[in-house]
Structure 1
Amino acid sequence: MITTSVARIILAPREQQVLEGLSGGSTLAVVALDLKIREGTAAGYLKLAKRKLYGVSENAAALAVGYTTEAIARPPLLDPETLFLPDGQRDIVPLLARGMAAAQMATELKRPVDIIRRDGRDLLTNLRARNRAHAVKRSWEFQLLTAEQVIAWLR
């Protein structure tokens, strides 16, 4: 149940399937193969989903908005106490979910871009995530990313 004022978004079943496939860390080509559709068709579904999800452009942002608006099934929550993340890595989670590049994160956090890149790599390792989209799912599971955080940057 959404406890905020963001409206629920309804995606077509294939749009949901493509996003959920990406959330597991698969590439679009693998997701398309799994769904037995062409990669171009999967890209079309992804584009439509992103448009519905507040017009985001990055896969990671599409997943964050999808979970927040309940357009896709939210992953089960895990105990955040079982994951240790340094503050530097924790700080970039909401920025990564917005689809920001390392240089944008560095500007936002007033930190050197090479440190942001290192923290980003370490974050993926610590979350056992394959890519940014998978990191969003893992961040949601460990409650490092919340609907309230996503709503804040949607406004």
Structure 2
Amino acid sequence: MTTTAATMISLSPRERQVLERLATGDTVAMVGQDLRLSEGTVVSYLRNAKDKLYGVSETEAAVAIGLALEVIARPPLEDPEQLFMPREQRDLVPYIARGMTAEQMAAQLRRPVTDVRADSRDLLSTLNARNRPHLITRSWQFRLLTAEQVIKWYR
């Protein structure tokens, strides 16, 4: 199923490069500087990649789909036994992978938005992630997200 879906989605080399760099926690400005592109050009490549990846609007969702369908390079896996994470933080991962806001997650989980925001900040710290797209990559590394989960959400 993954191979078939991946063959239908093809990112250009620059789209792939931009998305992979964002998945490592780099900012648009950093990607632009390193690739010698304007920030506007980086954003255009990212927008094109998102359109190809089921038309998602959030970068973290594009990273999740890109990893699941192997259209961007998958990071090396980490030992999940090395990770201590409270259930409240773990519960946020699938919602963040879908690009949901704190308000949307709070409504889904029936929790106060202030608690969801605090747990989101703590989750970034727990996973040693720089931002939400990087959080998705780190979640993948610790097997908190799987290809099957992500594909199911976007089918």
Per the alignment, residue 30 of structure 1 pairs with 30
Distance 1:88 1:38 in 2: 39
Equivalences for residues 98-137 of structure 1 within 5 A: 98-137=98-137
Deviations 1:3-37 (A, max 9, x none): 55860021100001100110111110110111111
Percentage of pairs with the same residue? 60
Distance 2:103 2:117 in 1: 9
- Range 5-14 or range 17-26, more displaced: 5-14
Runs of 4+ residues over 4 Å off in structure 1 = 3-6
| SS of residue in 2 equivalent to 1:7 | helix
Give the alignment's Cα RMSD to 1 decimal. 1.2
Per the alignment, residue 42 of structure 2 pairs with 42
Count of matched residue pairs: 153
The runs of 5 or more residues in structure 2 that have no matched partner are none
TM-score, normalisation: structure 1: 0.95
Distance 1:152 1:107 in 2: 21
Which letter maps to 2:62?
A: A
Equivalences for residues 57-136 of structure 1 within 5 A: 57-136=57-136
TM-score, normalisation: structure 2: 0.95
Deviations 1:26-76 (A, max 9, x none): 110110111111111111100000000000000100000001111101111
